[in-house]
Structure 1
């Protein structure tokens, strides 16, 4: 099919899904605002270098999601739609992160809960030996927005178990006067959703996600807390003060 753009052939995802994703993101970023018309089918065919049926299938997907209203002879109109419920800022200071989470009580859905060891490949710090691992889904207003796997040093978990099972962990640790955090690192990677994450976060396989790893250590560089978090790509935003 000579009309298909080669860059759309780089994986096995059907072309109409790729076109739909590009159009969806443009709508969410308000490249086309509510009430405006999308480019014509012919124009989209030319831009993406795909067949007419591919564009029509992509628009059908957006129609099923309530994002557009295609009318023969009138074009495809962008419909009113909701932005993500509450974009979560990815901050670059521990105190700001704790303040962001303080008082926030999302719905928590447990997936795993066990005594274990740290996984291999942790870049900094030393193991405390035993950790309590909690893996759960966070949601707000009925929308699942992240999967988090927490590793908490056993003595800390035992001390704060009741709170840690029902609240976000960072404020609990930060407010304990006996815990001194000397090292706090955070890494963020943008990647694509796999089958399991897609199932838990109500996404399609291949949609963008953000993977965050946070590690907190004490003065002896013992890891007290580690979290691996997978966020929906449409739920987070990164803001940085470039003059700070």
Structure 2
């Protein structure tokens, strides 16, 4: 079950424990197995188990009470609510009504270096760093690089509301392309603090770019989501394949 990996053993154990809570094998409010039982199940040392439990406790997922044991303190069964958008239209709908806490706003100090080849970098951007919330729970930390001319056209609106729906609604802005990539990594101390998760907890790291008709990047975002909130749904049957299966009527 556990394997050699660059990921520390205690984090692997913490991840397996978290899966039990998400699947409700360990239900919200229930007491989890004792250290003796966990030692037999995971075949690791008590030092590793205690480190894993410390990780979960720092995230508020379990609560340890001296003399009583360790209990599940957070219901994770319904947290996987965010479907990563597969189309631009889905993206607009998904982020339209999120709450925002602005952390920092400034002209970008360095040239934008996208994480993947897509479009041409523009001359200047404004950087907005903020946390987005769903039902008062922080669900992503986002760094946005917005074309400076576009930002300057309505700085108050772009500072106080989600950016993508505003770009989609503007008749003077033509979005000709949109692309994103995602990888799974772990949170650092800064990300963990903003998202109310533990350091080295798994996160979905997404980079997203929009280009205009001149193939110039007008919006670029680096977004970090707690991994437990993300689900990915993909249609594996393409439209072309569907058409091949349709037979003409006699």
TM range (shorter): 0.7 to 0.9
Q: Which range moved further: 214-223 or 199-208?
A: 199-208
Correspondences of 1:3-14 after superposition (within 5 Å): 7=3, 10-11=6-7, 13=8
Correspondences of 1:212-223 after superposition (within 5 Å): 212-223=206-217
CA deviation after TM superposition for structure 1 residue 118, in Å: 1.7
Output the CA distance in 1 between the equivalents of 2:209 and 2:73. 42
User: Which residue of the partner structure matches residue 24 of structure 1?
Assistant: 18
CA deviation after TM superposition for structure 1 residue 85, in Å: 5.9
8 Å Cα contact 1:84/1:234 also seen in 2: no
Measured against aligned partners, the alpha-carbon deviations of 1:202-224 in whole angstroms (never above 9, x if no partner) come to: 32221101111111111221111
Output the CA distance in 1 between the equivalents of 2:42 and 2:174. 54
Helix, strand or coil at the partner of 1:214 = strand
TM-score (norm 1): 0.79
Correspondences of 1:28-67 after superposition (within 5 Å): 28-34=22-28, 38-39=32-33, 41-52=35-46, 54-55=48-49, 58=52, 65=60, 67=62
Output the CA distance in 2 between the equivalents of 1:120 and 1:62. 34
Correspondences of 1:31-180 after superposition (within 5 Å): 31-34=25-28, 38-39=32-33, 41-52=35-46, 54-55=48-49, 58=52, 65=60, 67=62, 78=72, 81=75, 83=77, 87-102=81-96, 104-116=97-109, 117-119=111-113, 121-180=115-174
Q: Quick one: which of 175, 180, 193 aligns to 1:186?
A: 180
Output the CA distance in 2 between the equivalents of 1:92 and 1:9. 31
Aligned pair count reads 236
Correspondences of 1:197-236 after superposition (within 5 Å): 197-236=191-230
Shift in alpha-carbon separation, 1:6–1:61, aligned structure 2, 3 A: closer
Structure 1: which 4+ aligned runs deviate by more than 6 Å? 68-72, 74-77
Measured against aligned partners, the alpha-carbon deviations of 1:29-74 in whole angstroms (never above 9, x if no partner) come to: 32333476645544422332223454466557757846467898x9
User: Which residue of the partner structure matches residue 243 of structure 2?
Assistant: none
Measured against aligned partners, the alpha-carbon deviations of 1:10-41 in whole angstroms (never above 9, x if no partner) come to: 45x5x555533421232123233347664554
Output the CA distance in 1 between the equivalents of 2:186 and 2:177. 29
TM-score (norm 2): 0.77
> Unaligned regions of 5+ residues in structure 2, if any?
239-250
